[in-house]
């Protein structure tokens, strides 16, 4: 795959204010909304030398949650209360490049590509390994394939680990989570004993041949919905992956704010639903012996993630418009990457999609598995394309995208 997007020049008008010789305004602060540097632990050392101001780094599976936490701890800001302000600072264009030191915002969650490794024990007794895999994989794999899969882990346990990490990391997001209808299980599942390096241990997702076995979409939805509920409970932003399931993804997200839509449901119906939920929460508290109704009421009124990023969104503009219906109570951001959105086959559609997203909701990302120069280069290219698609000058665009990133991550900007 090439990072070259010169073919795209032909369909984008230069921004009126853009001077091709103009240096890229890194000093204004450039932010990555979604990437995976923990897939290459050796790239950790390159982070202090990056030009980007901050990266939102995603966990995807059991093995990388603690790696994401330790990466973030190595490049966090202290005290944590100053993070939003510090990331807002513009530095001098002539100053040393590394004066800001790139920071990391961790994001914890389970990607749909790894959802089969989790069993749902929220309302059900733990199944046997074979029962679990035969109930969620389609078509039914032969016994040797099933036996090669690892023992699945209980959903409630993973959720409580994520909850603990989110308490510890004040600004952490939930992600990468989502739905993927095109995903198939890899043919060979690497085991730690067959891997020789740390990089291999964390399991790069590239270059592995695929079987014909898929994870049922209903199981993927179960894992996604449980993580969305946690995001609602703790009021954290989420980074969401959606492939070949754009309509269903919208419906799954919309389920979380059912009864809390803005303006569309009649006020009377809305009051009735809210009252019903509050009564349910109160009844639950009484059973728990927890008398503090105020906090429970507040949480009961916000069961959905407050901010959602559709990462490397590849669906049509029409599906996207559903997220911007005035009734949707969550703020929905869309981030774009060179690697997914600017392939020659999809680039034209991407330009239309970028123009569909409200100016205050566009983000850029690298979605790259390795920190360093290439990550900076991909961000710069994507920022330039967004600015030209939107008709923004480069400095104006970088400032707007920085504001959007801060609003997505911190809820303020
Ligand atoms: Zn990703």
Question: What 8-state DSSP symbol labels residue 257?
Answer: T
Contact indicator for 89, 66 with CB cutoff of 8 Å: no
Q: Are 278 and 300 in contact (CB under 8 A)?
A: yes
CB 173 within 8 A of CB 236: yes
Q: How far is the CA of 340 from the centre of ligand 1 (A)?
A: 10
Q: What pLDDT score was predicted for residue 192?
A: 47
Q: Determine the distance separating the centroid of ligand 1 and the alpha carbon of 366, expressed in angstroms.
A: 9
Residue 285 included in any domain: no
Gap from CA of 351 to ligand 1 centroid (Å): 21
How much is the CA Rg of the chain, to the nearest whole Å? 22
Residue 340 falls inside a structural domain? yes
What is the C-alpha to C-alpha distance for residues 268 and 242, in angstroms, rounded to an integer? 35
In order of 182, 184, 192, 211, the CA distances from 187 in angstroms are 15, 9, 16, 5
Output the CA 192–ligand 1 centroid distance in Å: 23
In which domain, by residue range, is 79 found?
24-114+158-260+302-410
Q: How far is the CA of 3 from the centre of ligand 1 (A)?
A: 17
Q: Is residue 96 part of a domain?
A: yes
**How close is the Cα of 28 to the center of ligand 1, in Å?**
25
- Per-residue CA distances from 387 to 189, 192, 214 (Å): 42, 44, 38
> What gap in Å lies between CA 206 and CA 51, rounded to an integer?
26
CA of 114 to the centre of ligand 1 (A): 12
Distance 168 CA to ligand 1 centre (A): 23
Ligand 1 centroid from CA 312, angstroms: 8
Cβ-in-10-Å burial (0-12, 13-18, 19+) of 88 comes to middle
Note the pLDDT of residue 86: 61
What three-state secondary structure class fits 153? Answer: strand
Output the CA 251–ligand 1 centroid distance in Å: 21
Instruction: Give the span between the Cα atoms of 9 and 365, in whole angstroms.
Output: 20
pLDDT value of residue 204: 44
pLDDT per residue over 173-218, tens digit each?
Answer: 999 999 999 999 998 655 444 443 444 334 444 456 899 999 999 9
Tokens of 279: 């009564």
pLDDT in tens, 238-288: 999 999 999 999 999 999 999 999 876 566 676 777 777 777 777 765 544
pLDDT at 3: 58
Report yes or no: 14 and 388 within 8 Å, Cβ to Cβ: yes
Distance in Å, CA 147 to ligand 1 centroid: 28
Rounded CA-CA distance 119/45 in Å is 36
- Res 348: pLDDT: 83
How many folded domains does the chain comprise? 1
Helix (H) or strand (E) holding 239: strand 238-243
State the CATH number of the domain containing residue 170.
3.20.20.140
Inter-residue long-range contacts of 321-327, CB under 8 Å, 24+ positions, other chains counted? 321/356, 322/250, 323/250, 324/358, 325/264, 326/262, 326/263, 326/264, 327/261, 327/262, 327/263, 327/264, 327/265
Q: Residue 141 Cα, ligand 1 centroid: separation in angstroms? A: 27
The structure tokens 């202090």 sit at 48
Question: Is residue 403 included in any domain, yes or no?
Answer: yes
Q: Tokens in use for 251? A: 């419906």
In a domain, 140, yes or no: no
Tell the residue number behind the tokens 């290459």, with chain if given: 40
Residue 179 CA to ligand 1 centre (angstroms): 12
Centre of ligand 1 to C-alpha 240, Å, is: 8
Residues with CB under 5 A from ligand 1 (ion): 176, 367
Instruction: Encode pLDDT of 102-127 as tens digits.
Output: 889 999 999 999 999 999 999 888 99
| Domain-located, residue 64 | yes
Low-confidence ranges of the chain (pLDDT < 50): 1-2, 97-98, 191-206, 287-299
Distance 369 CA to ligand 1 centre (A): 9
Calculate how far, in angstroms, residue 111's C-alpha sits from the geometric centre of ligand 1. 8
Ligand 1 geometric centre to CA of 203 (Å): 14
Inter-CA distances, 313 with 4, 35, 175, 351, 353, Å = 20, 14, 15, 12, 9
Do the domain assignments include residue 136? no
């Amino acid at each position: 795959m090439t990072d070259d997007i010169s073919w795209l020049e032909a369909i984008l008008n230069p921004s009126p204010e853009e001077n091709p010789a103009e240096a890229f305004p890194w000093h204004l602060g450039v932010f990555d909304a979604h990437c995976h540097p923990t897939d290459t632990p050796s790239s950790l050392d390159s982070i202090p030398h990056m030009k980007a101001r901050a990266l939102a780094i995603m966990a995807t599976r059991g093995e990388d949650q603690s790696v994401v936490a330790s990466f973030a701890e190595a490049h966090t800001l202290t005290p944590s209360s100053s993070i939003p302000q510090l990331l807002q600072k513009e530095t001098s264009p002539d100053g040393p490049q590394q004066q800001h030191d790139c920071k990391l915002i961790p994001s914890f969650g389970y990607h749909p590509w790894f959802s089969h490794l989790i069993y749902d024990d929220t309302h059900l007794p733990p199944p046997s390994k074979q029962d679990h895999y035969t109930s969620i994989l389609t078509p039914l794999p032969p016994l040797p394939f099933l036996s090669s899969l690892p023992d699945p882990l209980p959903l409630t346990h993973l959720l409580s680990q994520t909850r603990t990490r989110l308490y510890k990391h004040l600004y952490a997001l939930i992600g990468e989570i989502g739905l993927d209808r095109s995903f198939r299980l890899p043919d060979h599942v690497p085991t730690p004993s067959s891997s020789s390096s740390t990089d291999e241990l964390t399991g790069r997702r590239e270059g592995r041949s695929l079987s014909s076995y898929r994870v049922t979409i209903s199981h993927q939805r179960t894992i996604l919905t449980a993580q969305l509920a946690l995001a609602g409970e703790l009021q954290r932003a989420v980074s969401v992956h959606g492939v070949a399931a754009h309509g269903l993804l919208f419906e799954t997200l919309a389920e979380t704010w059912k009864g809390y839509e803005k303006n569309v449901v009649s006020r009377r119906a809305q009051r009735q639903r809210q009252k019903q939920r509050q009564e349910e929460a109160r009844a639950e508290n009484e059973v728990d012996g927890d008398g503090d109704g105020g906090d429970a009421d507040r949480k009961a009124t916000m069961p959905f993630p407050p901010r959602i990023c559709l990462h490397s969104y590849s669906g049509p503009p029409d599906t996207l418009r559903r997220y911007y219906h005035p009734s949707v109570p969550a703020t929905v951001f869309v981030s774009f990457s060179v690697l997914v959105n600017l392939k020659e086959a999809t680039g034209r559609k991407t330009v239309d999609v970028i123009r569909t997203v409200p100016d205050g909701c566009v983000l850029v990302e690298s979605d790259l598995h390795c920190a360093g120069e290439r990550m900076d280069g991909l961000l710069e290219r994507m920022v330039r394309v967004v600015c030209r698609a939107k008709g923004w000058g480069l400095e104006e665009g970088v400032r707007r995208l920085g504001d959007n990133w801060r609003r997505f991550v911190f809820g303020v900007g």
